Amino acid sequence: MRIEYSNKVIKTLRIKIIDKPGYLGNITSIIGANSTMIGDIKTVHLGKGYKIRDIDIYADENNVLDNILSSIKDFEGADVIEVVDVVEKMHVNGKIAVKPTVDINSIDDLKIIYTPGVASICKKIHDNKALADKYTSIRNNVAIVTNGTAILGLGDIGAVAGMPVMEGKALLFSLLAGINGFPILLETHKPEEIIETVKHIAPTFGAIKLEDIKAPECFEIEDKLDAMLDIPVLHDDQHGTAVVVLAALLNIAKYTFVNLKESSVGIIGLGAAGTGIMKLLKSYGIKEFNGVDLDKSALERFESLGGSPKDLRGVVEQSKIVIATTGCPDLITPDMIQPGHVILALSNPNPEIDPDLAMKHGAIFAADGKSVNNALAFPGLFKGALQAHAFTINNQMKIAAAKTIASFALEGDLVPNILDKKVHEAVAKDVEAAAYRTGVAKIYED
């Protein structure tokens, strides 16, 4: 099962509009009448009797954009000057770059940071390998490894086509946690080749982040690399998602007085995300799990972890909390919903059931995947692990991250603002403490 992405259109319309009352309102009404969201509206030029404005719009399909442009063309008093694809514009030449942390202003500076000065640092590290953490960037480097087999909901589109996603992850690492994220693209479907490659490049990094590698191969790759390397290895599709789901559930339990640990949890879709969620919720203390998936091997894996396989209706009707990660819109029908249900229909852009519809049919709480973004978890989770020199990221560290994320949510919200750096700093601090508390941190002496 995978998400079928609609042709989402994000554009900026540059429009010349007569500067009189009602004209801008008519343009926004045309856009709204086409079921299209409006973002920022900026005045970019003030002329005699007119203004040129940039209007950001978010439409579902290209034909909707065509309808909007046609309607504006027929409206007297406004002309579309330009249509800008803001997504393409933002991605020109990529989103990341490697930049120095020191300046070179003279030949003497060059001698210090390169030859001959650098030789003394090389000798120190040769004598004591642990000093690489002090004198190089290794401790703050994270490899973002993908083979492109599960990119977003687009499926197996290859590693190179997945590079914009990896760059996005690297950008978030840098902005939210001050970590150097390096995309590593591997054009192979063979787990053993990925494992061997990562094993040999691992000395460059303080941690390995596996990204958008499909199930079931992702489980073997993560398990083997985590066992063989002395640095953290984490598959974000599983564990980053699971951390944010747990954070959301902690707040739902607070708002609804649901006893989380005593609740039955149904998981619809037992791929990487569904399996990761089940593992973390089980570690947190939830005991009863029902699950369904079209893949027989996924059901067998779920059962081996302590879950009870059922059909779709059975999962929904026999679970207090239902979490869906299938990519199948409208999979959960209203007649399945029972009074008191908690529904997290996490597939984007179209959930398994509309939250409002679920609430209308008796759910005490329902949400979709718009707020459950693993970018709330991975920057702080990795930073905390790196600060602790941890050799793994265990469930206690993930639970600490989830509790911290939950604590920053405003009253009534499931999770906090993803761009709030204080959240990621706090997550890192608490994850680091959990690493020391559980004995997975390494302590070095200079």
User: Catalytic amino acids?
Assistant: 114, 169
Tell me the C-alpha distance between 418 and 374, whole Å: 9
Q: What are phi and psi of 359, to 5 degrees?
A: -65, -40
Angle between helix 395-407 and 378-387 (nearest 10): 130
* Residue 380 tokens, joined: 């702080």
Q: What are phi and psi of 60, to 5 degrees?
A: -85, -35
Tell me the C-alpha distance between 260 and 320, whole Å: 9
CB neighbours of residue 232 within 10 Å: 28
Tell me the C-alpha distance between 339 and 364, whole Å: 7
Q: Following DSSP, what letter does each residue of 390-417 receive, concatenated? A: -S---HHHHHHHHHHHHHTSPTT-SS--
Residues β-bridged to residue 142: 181, 207
Kindly state the DSSP code that residue 164 receives in the 8-state scheme. H
Tell me the C-alpha distance between 193 and 200, whole Å: 11
* Residue 309 tokens, joined: 């396989």
